[in-house]
Structure 1
């Protein structure tokens, strides 16, 4: 039982560390929304911008890809402690998604190019804060990690199963 708990803790902590690094990657890649500074406050500079959707898409690509990698690595490394590793993927993937969102929103990495087609001359255009608008993409990391882990275990279990050779291999 102690080894299962240790495998769970190591998996959660590893995925949490990856989540913070993924947040910095998301912050460096995802585009920012152009905001126009006016006397009334900050307004959306370009109403036709796709930056919000692109930021959500980059979040899903980064966390989903890491979920697949983590699920495969966990299956290879944690064959002896399946339950602890599987629960660690679920809890750690959820924590990693939230850490990715927090780190990506808190830090601004890289240079941000903001273009606004509807900008009035003399008004300042600034990049907006990176935010996640589609909250459903938060489940991409744990869902793909656990799903890929289960797929690999199912394929391995079928290969080792006696059901693969009906009638005991005799025809």
Structure 2
């Protein structure tokens, strides 16, 4: 029982660490939307900007790619403790996605370039990163558990006696 708990905890903590690093990567790669400072507060300077959608897209690409990588590594490394690793991928993926969102929206990394056609005397500032499509938060856990299951299904089929139902000899490969 102790080994299963350890496998679960190591999986969750590893994914949480990757989530913090992914937040820094998301903060460094994603463009910021330009905001205009007015008497009422900050207002979106360019309503046709694609920066808000780009933040969702970069988040999905980063967390989805890491989810696939974690699912593959989890399957290859955690063959002895399948259930704790799958549960760790699910819980750790949710935690990692939340940490990615928190770190990425809190920390600003890299040169933030804001381009907007503003009249003279108007102050333009970069906006904070935020998600407008909250559904991308499930990319990490969904892809990691799904890829783990795909690899296990392919492996199970390859070793299955049902693959040769009539007693045919196995392939030499």
- Deviation at 1:41? 2.1
Structure 1 consecutive aligned stretches of length 4 or more whose deviation exceeds 6 Å: none
Counterparts of residues 57-136 of structure 1 (less than 5 Å): 57-117=57-117, 119-136=118-135
What corresponds to 1:17 in structure 2?
A: 17
Aligned mates of 1:123, 1:40 — CA distance in 2: 14
Aligned mates of 1:114, 1:41 — CA distance in 2: 18
The count of corresponding residues between Structure 1 and Structure 2 is 169
Aligned mates of 2:42, 2:11 — CA distance in 1: 42
- Deviation at 1:38? 2.1
What corresponds to 2:151 in structure 1?
A: 152
What corresponds to 1:34 in structure 2?
A: 34
Aligned mates of 2:159, 2:40 — CA distance in 1: 68
- 5+ residue gaps, structure 2, are none
- Deviation at 1:39? 2.7
TM-score w.r.t. the length of structure 2 is 0.95
Aligned mates of 1:154, 1:62 — CA distance in 2: 25
- Deviation at 1:122? 1.3
Aligned mates of 1:120, 1:136 — CA distance in 2: 37
- Deviation at 1:121? 2.0
What corresponds to 1:164 in structure 2?
A: 163
- Deviation at 1:43? 1.0
- 5+ residue gaps, structure 1, are none
Pairwise CA RMSD: 0.9
